[in-house]
Amino acid sequence: MTDTQDVMRLLAAAEGSETTLRATVDDLGSARVATLLTGEVCFRARLDELGPRMSTPVRVILEFQCTDQSFPTMITVEGGGVRVGADQPAHLPVTVVSQDLYEAVRTVYGPRELAATVSQAVRWPEMAVMAAAGRPSEAVPTAFYPIVQRIIRSLSRSEHADLAELAAECGTDKWSALHRYPEHYNRHFGPLRERRLNVLEIGVGGFDETGLGAASLRMWKHYFPRAVLYGLDIADKSSLDEARIVTVRGDQSDRAALTALADQAGPFDIVIDDGSHVSADVLASFEFLFGQLNPNGLYVIEDLQTSYWKPMFSGDDYDLTDPKHTMGFIKTLLDGLHHQEFLHVDARAEQPTDHWIRGVHIYHNLCFIEKGPNVEESPFANLMRRWENTDQSSS
């Protein structure tokens, strides 16, 4: 099984009973789970940000304990990045961050309210090592401290990362000179952060370069610590796959490709269209994928401005209500949201989404569509229909 498949099992087990959690860990194997945990903790800790500050490599051991077994892993942070699993040079003091394996699985992969750190400990070099060095600061260089702090915060789930900062650090343009999307994403996604989610983003980034992209997927991986992220792209981006990130090659306007994606990964809790931004592609994706969205899910369309741009995107800034263009289509969704208010059955053709869109939120170049039952009655419209029918009958 892949890393993501194994992590999905841990995500489910971590919100279940203690018996279920232990059975899942034992089935996957303690060593395997310790490896997955180490990778997840290192990712969330964003240790690569500290590398450029290190004048010399800094090494810390992350250790998970399970009954009578111990699973230690050396983590090296240096200017060139982060290395996991490197051997420890004999002349360096040992600083160890340790935690019970089962407790760590519950804390890292489970709901935040279940986080526990009862067994968590930091073992600094023994006093004999410090005494031999003359001063504690020489035995434990100050560069160790921010690394250990970040590891502990990741193990403890003690704070949430800011989405705007994540966007800038991960290299996505969702917060940049082009866009200011994080404040709107926070408004709608904030209440979902701690849930176990299936998220699809159309457009992995990096254009046709197979090894480039996934900046946005990594941002969402930080933001949603319990989500599995799928990225659909017309180019092969499989080299960017990692635990909790799976890329799928396909054209967003190809119904067969979308069907195969839904069969593999759906249904979804969130769909984000950051793909070609061509209206025909946007509408083709929505027509199929909205049906693959779970009730109470959110469908997001980015970069609405391209709906008005004829060059490159075949948009139109003259006919602003043409439903062949993204913005014109969204306006039809607003009519569907109020389908109960139309007095005449022939006023508009009923759409499949009329009864399943309960909210549309528009911001500058960004739209959130809430999926949910839209069955609220309209007593006034019903009354007006009766009045109109009575008037017609008496005339």
Task: Point out the residues that are catalytic.
Answer: 277
Q: What gap in Å lies between CA 286 and CA 272, rounded to an integer?
A: 10
63 dihedral zone (left: phi>0; alpha: psi -120 to 50; beta): beta
Sign of CA dihedral 81, 84, 86, 90: positive
Structure tokens at 140: 């434990």
Q: What gap in Å lies between CA 348 and CA 42, rounded to an integer?
A: 54
Q: What gap in Å lies between CA 157 and CA 193, rounded to an integer?
A: 12
Q: Which residues pair with 236 in a beta bridge?
A: none
Q: What gap in Å lies between CA 315 and CA 329, rounded to an integer?
A: 12
Written as one letter, the residue type at 44 is: R
Q: What gap in Å lies between CA 181 and CA 199, rounded to an integer?
A: 17
Q: Is there a contact between 255 and 281 (Cβ–Cβ < 8 Å)?
A: no
Q: What is the CA radius of gyration of the chain?
A: 26
Which is nearest to 124 in space by CA: 154, 145, 100?
Answer: 145
Q: How many beta carbons lie within 10 A of that of residue 200, not counting itself? A: 28
DSSP 130-192: HHHHSSHHHHS-TTHHHHHHHHHHHHHT--PPPHHHHHHHHT-TTBSSS-B-HHHHHHHHGGG
- On the question of a cis peptide bond just before residue 352, with omega within 30 degrees of 0, the verdict is no
